[in-house]
Amino acid sequence: MGFIDTSELPIREPRPGFLGRFFHSDHMTFAYYTIAAGSDVHRHRHANDEVWHVLEGELEMALGDEVRVLRAGEAAVVPPHVEHSARAVTECRVIVADHPVRHSVGGVDIR
């Protein structure tokens, strides 16, 4: 699996308004999301390292006690076990990378 055309991957919706295409490397999971304006992920924490990279639009991220609106070209690095949340201020496109591999997101199997 050296080359991947993400447009050919099935779309899954692990949260309302989060349309994602998922794939894995040996050690990481990648999610290519289009997120509807107003859609959100509640405050939560997990054991994975996670990076949110905004490609288009505006995404409000809470990371611990800090809240910031990310725009195209900006990213948030979420260390393991740190409480965080996300809300699409506008429709946006983001790539989320997790380490190690995740087999489900929001209760949806992404194998």
CATH at 57: 2.60.120.10
> Using CB atoms within 10 A of its CB, is residue 88 exposed (0-12), middle (13-18) or buried (19+)?
buried
The CA distance from 56 to 13, in Å, is: 19
pLDDT at 80: 97
pLDDT band at residue 1 using 50, 70 and 90 as cut-offs: low
The answer to whether residue 16 sits within a structural domain is yes
pLDDT of 110 > 70? The answer is yes
The answer to whether residue 4 sits within a structural domain is no
The CA distance from 66 to 98, in Å, is: 21
Q: Which domain holds residue 54?
A: 11-103
In tens, the pLDDT along 22-58 reads 999 999 999 999 999 999 999 999 999 999 999 999 9
The answer to whether residue 60 sits within a structural domain is yes
Region 59-86: mean pLDDT is: 98
Q: Give me the number of domains the chain comprises.
A: 1
In tens, the pLDDT along 73-95 reads 999 999 999 999 999 999 999 99
pLDDT at 52: 98
The answer to whether residue 109 sits within a structural domain is no
pTM of the model: 0.95
pLDDT of 98 > 80? The answer is yes
Token pair 């949340």 in the structure block, residue: 85
The answer to whether residue 76 sits within a structural domain is yes
The answer to whether residue 3 sits within a structural domain is no
Alpha helices in 1-111 (DSSP H): none
pLDDT at 111: 81
Per DSSP, 11 falls in state: P
Q: Which residue, among 111, 87, 103, has the nearest Cα to 46 in the 3D structure? A: 103
The answer to whether residue 111 sits within a structural domain is no
The answer to whether residue 81 sits within a structural domain is yes
